[in-house]
Structures are given as structure tokens and as C-alpha cells.
Structure 1
Amino acid sequence: MAARPEKSVLSIQSTVVFGYVGNKSATFPLQVLGFDVSTINSVQFSNHTGYKCFKGQVLNSDDLACLYDGLKENSIGSFSHILTGYIGSKSFLEKVAEIVVDLKKNNPSLLYVCDPVMGDNGKMYVPDELLPVYINTILPIADIVTPNQFEIENLTGVKINSEEDAIKAMQILHDKGPRTVVISSSEFSHDTSIICLASSVTNGHKEVYKVQFQKLPAIFVGTGDLFAACLLAWLEKESGLKLALEKTISTLQSVIKRTLDKAQALAGEGNTPTPAQMELQLVQSKADIENPPLTHSASAL
């Protein structure tokens, strides 16, 4: 068996020319944290879809197969991790599953980190036909999954109104295959806080953690992609889920607070920042990405 490649990620998700979502949001932090990153872009847009318009291209499953074949034929398709995010079509997602299986066949120690990007705030923004593919095909081959509350509710059929509901939903995903399940954001508390919950099973031993933090008065784009990338990195670099989760959340909070401060300064007092002003301040947060100030702690449940 070939040795596990050292810190090399194949990241398959969206990208934009301007701004930070998808691969643009994930690549820089992974590189700063010592990972080689190879990217395949499921879509390439001028900017994220929250602007007044966007233009660009969408890859289909044949395009994905062609790119992967090129890697294989040159014997450059060996990775320690595969990371997936936004995928907009059923056939593309099915081809991703084939690629993950093929990569794991050649390297059984490869870790698949899946951010099942399907929707948020009660709304799906991918076709409904992707949901059964995630449930029946992707979850059984994923090692780590990072859904938000809306996504895990759809993946499990469990409505989350409490920590107990969340733990039940995470166990359903464990039973499908992934050994680590992280709900990147959930809002079921009676105040304005957001709760992140994480569960991991190793050799029959289960650990569950919670991190709670205040919701900021703004909408951020690309944070889920940043979350999955940082979690991948810190789970690899640290020995335990607790510290990896704390470093990931602390990184996210540093980035979004810097982003909001900059956006409000640019917009001026009393004005709502534009989408361009609200783009994540990733490069400006390089020091915090490398060495996150531990501003948030995880409590065991």
C-alpha cells in the first residue's frame, strides 16, 4: 500500500472570480495551514449569487470525469483528503461519489470531508433530487460531514429544537457511515446565539461537544466553506475534536468580526454594506487563521 500523501487536498466545489466562496474561501486557509490544495470548480461565477447579477459557467459530470482522468493518467491523483462543497446537479454528485470510491481504493487512509451544501434558512438552493444521493451514496463513503441545521434536518428527517434532537440527528448520520459529524450552525436556543455541535465516534467511544456564540447582525457568504476547510485542517493537525472545533470556531469568529467592522466602516454610519463590502476579509485574517486566538471553548455533552 502506498504511503498516505502528506497534507494534500482535492477540493471540489464552486468558485468565483471576485470574492470568497467555495474554493476561493477554502483554498487560502488550507494553504496557510500547510496543505497543498488541488481544486476542481463545480461552477465558476463572476461573483456569488447574492449580488444583483452573476455570470459564468457550470461544469457537468463529463467535465469532472475528464479532469479526473487527466490526473489519473499522469499519476498525480494521490491525496490525503478530499473536500466537497457546493454541487448543483445529481449527475455531478454521483460522479463525485465514483471519484471518492476510486481514490479510497488506491489510498484507503484518504479522508473525505463532505459539506453537504443544499440550503439554509428553510430553503433548498439545489435540486431536491440531490438529497437522496447524499443520503444513500455520499454519507456511506464520507468520514466527516459538516451540515448546517437545515441540511441535517433534511438528511435525517429530525426537526432540531433542542440539544437532544441534535444528538439524535448526528447519531443517525453516524449510523450511515461518517465517524465525525459537525452541525456548523444551529439556532434553537431562546436567545440570539448560534450553537455548533460536534460528535465523533472512535473505536466505539463517542464524544459530543457544543460551542455557543452570539449571532452578528449581518449575512455572511462563504463562511460554511471556510468552516469545513478549517475543520479539515485542525482535525488533521490536532489530536482531538475539542481543540479542533475550538480553533475552527475561533477562526470563523475572528474573520467575520473583521469583515463586519470593515464593511460598516466602508458603508458609513447608518448604511447597509453592499455585497462587495461584505466579502470575507480572509487575507487580512492570515495571522488568525494560522494561530487562532482561542476566544471560544467547547463544552462536553
Structure 2
Amino acid sequence: MKILSIQSAVAYGHVGNSAAVFPLQRIGVEVLPVYTVNFSNHTGYGAWRGPMIAPEDVRAVIAGIEERGVLGDIDVVLSGYQGSEGIADVVVEAVAKVKAANPGAIYACDPVMGNAKSGCFVAPAIPVLLRDRVVTVADLITPNQFELGYLTGTDPHNLASTLDAVERARALGPRAVLVTSVERPDAEPGTIEMIAADDEGAWIVSTPLLPLKANGSGDVTAALFTAHYRATGSAADALARTASSVFGLIEQTLASGDRELQLVQAQEHYAHPRMEFEPRRLR
């Protein structure tokens, strides 16, 4: 499998492509990373250095890949944090080119815009572009519960409203949806959940909620779920594997006492997930 991954990059820490690429490589996926920013560190520190990459420069990198004649070999286009407003058009253009070269390719969009605790942390125009321009051409989207609410104009706060929002999101164009960071009042205390849905059904998986703000864990989640789903076509299997891998990564990071993901140290969790969390079918 080959994935063209259009995301941010940081020198220190693990977010965007700096979080997604290694876990994908560890499970045998060839990754072509294209950067939308090249920062010293993620913005959660409140200070960072380095450039936001201009859309024309991102477009030029993709054009150079196209000139190598390899777009037909790409199975998945994956996008995450987009940086500037013009990146949306670059991503949509790249998806069209890849699908023209390989009609069997899919586009997976992680619509990064914010979370329930921090609110939106991207430029105000980007959520609108994601909703109106980017998500509509995606085959798979991986929003967190907060982002799902924005995309669908709803307030997903319990199981019924979250499932309704998932179907509204699928009506926008994507056939498959993974919702991360699902919280609901009737869930088992001390847990957090993910929901995956496609034409075959919907499944939910619950894992212990660990006391760690793990920047980049959503990027790892989106990447692994995308690869497993593309490989097997099973949302339930992809959900089980991803939940196990990401829990192992966060658990190992918490034990280390480090703020940054122990991405390399936890690599066995990607290659050989313990499969300790069983998804439950919802429909």
C-alpha cells in the first residue's frame, strides 16, 4: 500500500506527518509525505518557529511526484492539518489527479480544526473550507466529536445524537466515518470511545481514559485506521486494531513521564496490537 500524506510536520515531537508516517511504515505502508507547515514544534507549546508552506509550494511538491509517474501507484490520499487557507484547493486537486491515475484510490480526510476543550485552533476560514470543499470529496473522514458537530451543524453529546451526526456526515459525501474522542453521559465512567460507520454498519469501541493530553494521537489514529480500513474493508477490524495500537501508545507515553508521544518506543503496538478492545455493533 502507498499513501500520499499531506499534513504538517514538526522537528520536535510528533504531530501531523511527524506522527503519522512512522506508524504507517511500521505496519508496512509506503508513505509519500508532503508538508503543509514545517514548524519547530507543535503549537500547543504556545510558541514555535518555522514556515507555513505556501500553497503553490505544496502544489509544486505534488507536481514533482506526478512527474515521476507514480500517482497510479498511490492507494490513498490522506490529509490532516492544512495550515493556510489555500491548501484545501491543493488537496482537492491532488485527490482528483490520484483518482484519475488510479480509480481504485480513496481519499481520507482528517478534518483538523479543534477539540471540545480548546475550541477551534485553526484560521477561521479553514473549518468552512473543510466542510464545504474538502469533506464532500472524501471517501473516509476521521473527525473528533467536536469536529463532527461543526461539519454537520449538530450537537453530538450522546449516542443517539452522535450516530445521527455520523449519518449526516455520510450524507455530505464520505461513505465511511470514524469519530474519535467520543464522550457521552451514559458511558462507563473513566472511558473514552470511538465510533466507526460505513454502509455495512456502525460499531463503537471503549478504552480507558488515561490522564494525558497526547498531542498527535489523533493523527496516529487517523493514519492507522485509514490504512487498516483500506487493507481489509472492515470498519470493525480497523477500529479494533487502531484502538489497541493507540491505547498502547498513550499508555506507554504516560508511563514515560514525557509530554511528547513515545512514537518510536511504542512501535510494537502498531506492528502487533494486543487486540484487547472488542468493538460492539450498533446497527
Name the residue aligned to 2:194: 196
**Per the alignment, in what secondary structure is the counterpart of residue 265 of structure 2?**
helix
Per-residue CA deviations over 1:86-141 (Å, capped at 9, x if unaligned) read: 01222111221111112112211111111000001251111221223222221221
Cα separation, 1, equivalents of 2:238 and 2:71:
27
Letter in 1 for 2:130: Y
Matched, 1:295 2:276: yes
Give the one of 208, 215, 218 matched to 1:221.
Answer: 215
**Per the alignment, in what secondary structure is the counterpart of residue 50 of structure 1?**
helix
**Per the alignment, in what secondary structure is the counterpart of residue 86 of structure 2?**
helix
Q: CA deviation at 1:181?
A: 0.4
Per-residue CA deviations over 1:126-184 (Å, capped at 9, x if unaligned) read: 12212232222212211110000110000001101211111111111111111110101
Per-residue CA deviations over 1:257-288 (Å, capped at 9, x if unaligned) read: 0000011xxxxxxxxxxxxx221111111211
Cα separation, 2, equivalents of 1:55 and 1:284:
26
Cα separation, 1, equivalents of 2:99 and 2:268:
34
* 1:86-97 correspondence to structure 2 within 5 Å: 86-97=81-92
**Per the alignment, in what secondary structure is the counterpart of residue 212 of structure 2?**
coil
Q: TM-score with structure 2 length normalisation?
A: 0.94
* 1:68-87 correspondence to structure 2 within 5 Å: 68-78=62-72, 79-87=74-82
Q: CA deviation at 1:239?
A: 4.4
Name the residue aligned to 1:272: none
CA RMSD of aligned residues (A): 1.4
Between 70-79 and 109-118, the greater mean CA deviation after superposition:
70-79
Cα separation, 2, equivalents of 1:134 and 1:51:
25
Conserved 8 A contact 1:83-1:112: yes
Cα separation, 2, equivalents of 1:76 and 1:195:
38
**Per the alignment, in what secondary structure is the counterpart of residue 161 of structure 1?**
coil
Cα separation, 2, equivalents of 1:72 and 1:239:
27
Between 182-191 and 93-102, the greater mean CA deviation after superposition:
182-191
**Per the alignment, in what secondary structure is the counterpart of residue 181 of structure 2?**
strand
Conserved 8 A contact 1:142-1:177: yes
Name the residue aligned to 1:35: 29
Give the one of 70, 73, 98 matched to 2:93.
Answer: 98
Where do 5+ consecutive residues of structure 2 fail to align? none
Where do 5+ consecutive residues of structure 1 fail to align? 1-6, 264-276
Cα separation, 2, equivalents of 1:26 and 1:215:
22
Cα separation, 1, equivalents of 2:132 and 2:233:
30
Between 101-110 and 153-162, the greater mean CA deviation after superposition:
101-110
Matched, 1:14 2:8: yes
Letter in 2 for 1:169: A
Cα separation, 1, equivalents of 2:173 and 2:16:
25
Letter in 2 for 1:180: A
Figure out how many residues of one structure are paired with residues of the other and give that number: 278
Cα separation, 2, equivalents of 1:56 and 1:237:
35
Matched, 1:121 2:102: no
Cα separation, 2, equivalents of 1:19 and 1:90:
24
Letter in 2 for 1:198: A
Give the one of 254, 261, 278 matched to 2:255.
Answer: 261
Q: TM-score with structure 1 length normalisation?
A: 0.89
Matched, 1:156 2:183: no
Conserved 8 A contact 1:94-1:133: no
**Structure 1 residues 12 and 258: CA distance shift in structure 2, 3 A:** same
Name the residue aligned to 2:166: 170
Name the residue aligned to 2:39: 45
Letter in 2 for 1:221: N
| Seq. identity, % | 33
**Structure 1 residues 138 and 222: CA distance shift in structure 2, 3 A:** same
**Per the alignment, in what secondary structure is the counterpart of residue 267 of structure 2?**
helix
Letter in 2 for 1:116: P
Name the residue aligned to 1:24: 18
Cα separation, 1, equivalents of 2:190 and 2:124:
30
**Per the alignment, in what secondary structure is the counterpart of residue 283 of structure 1?**
coil
Cα separation, 2, equivalents of 1:293 and 1:136:
38
**Per the alignment, in what secondary structure is the counterpart of residue 44 of structure 2?**
coil
Cα separation, 2, equivalents of 1:232 and 1:283:
20
